[in-house]
Amino acid sequence: MTRPLEGLLVLEFSQFMAGPTAGLRLADLGARVIKIERPVKGEAGRQIAIRNIFVNGDSLVFHTINRNKESYAADLKDPEDLERVKKLIAQADVMTHNFRPGVMEKIGLDYEAVQQVNPKIIYGMVTGYGSKGPWASRPGQDLLIQSLSGLTYLSDTNDAGPVPFGLAVADIMCGAHFVQGILAALIKRGKTQKSVLVEVSLLESVLDLQFEFLTTHLNDGGLLPQRSSVKGSGHAYLSAPYGIYRTANDYLALAMGDLYKIGTAIGVDLSMFDTPALWFERRDEILELLSAQLLTKTTQDWLDLLEPKGIWCSEVLSYAQSLHHEAFEALGIKQHVTLPDGKSLHTTRCPIRIDHQRLYSDVPAPRPGAHTQQIDQQFNLTQA
């Protein structure tokens, strides 16, 4: 299958997660993505590990977000290496980086300088907090961004204090926004034949992730999110029954729905909560009533009762259960990459389908500088 971005050359000066996640998606869609890395050690993200798991000398995390890329080794402080990189930039469509503000200016690869090398370049920047302002020079790390954005006051109960999201949500969302910006810039360049600057920040991405709640906050007189006191409540702004409940043997999730219909179905009298406004104002009382009744039967019993009535509900699965469910298997989301030693590394595929086709790739993340010689020859980078 011809992928939409085939023929597009992307130079990735990015490290860690947000920028490389965007590069991964561009590569999935067919772009040729070349990582520009330090000689020998490569980018710093190669050493950031979950549970200290390393594969072929690099962290498992690095492998998950850098498959299907090439690696070009260059010391950007070395004039000869820098000159070769500029020759490569002159032939590229897109370059991305996530250095702190001022770093690329010192190297001589800021947007204005790169425009002189390639007047049609799409130049993408990821920062923590924007390129200007009082926080511009602070480290842009996921937990710090969550903590500064208000996100940590949306989960758990109202007495839990701030609770971070158990995922690199700032990095992942920012990477997705970065891809959107780059694709839009490519369309603009197609119209103007001129370079385009794309800027995203981790903080703006996490704020945008919360746009529903921030809009509510800005228009309800400044009230704070109201987390429930009941364990399992699923949302700081939604009414009962939204949440996860214990059953006789496991858990059951109930999404939004007609509270009267749900109460009648499970055998709980909720007639005293006779207006939708009360479903939020007296949410904790309702959740407690539902919780007590849902404990009396198994999860499957409740599913058999509620699903035929059109009530939005679900069992609650662990990874071990979810990854072996027939619905998961039907998606074909798993794939493997083939490592240099011939072993397989299991991961997930791109979630996008093009013309009904799933996008798989078995090309592993590269070792530092693995493609330097090949790229030098192909792009004539060593010629005077």
- Which structure tokens are listed for 203? 């903080």
Q: Is residue 290 within 8 Å of residue 241, measured between CB atoms?
A: yes
Cis omega before residue 4 (within 30°)?
Answer: no
Burial class (CB in 10 A: 0-12, 13-18, 19+), 220: exposed
Tokens standing for 263?
């109460």
**Residue closest to 95 by CA, chosen among 205, 18, 9, 189:** 9
Is 371 in a helix, a strand, or coil?
A: coil
Q: Are 255 and 313 in contact (CB under 8 A)?
A: yes
Positions annotated as catalytic residues are: 171
Which residue, 370, 265, 249, 364, is CA-closest to 312? 265
127-to-24, 94, 109, 151, 181 alpha-carbon distances in Å: 18, 17, 16, 19, 14
CA dihedral 56→376→115→208, nearest 10 degrees, is: -20
* d(C-alpha 22, C-alpha 174), whole Å: 8
Find out whether 66 and 35 touch, Cβ atoms under 8 Å. yes
Angle formed by the axes of helices 169-192 and 142-149, to 10°? 90
What does the alpha-carbon distance between residue 25 and residue 4 come to, in Å, rounded to a whole number?
12
Q: How far apart (Å, rounded) are the C-alpha atoms in residues 129 and 202?
A: 6
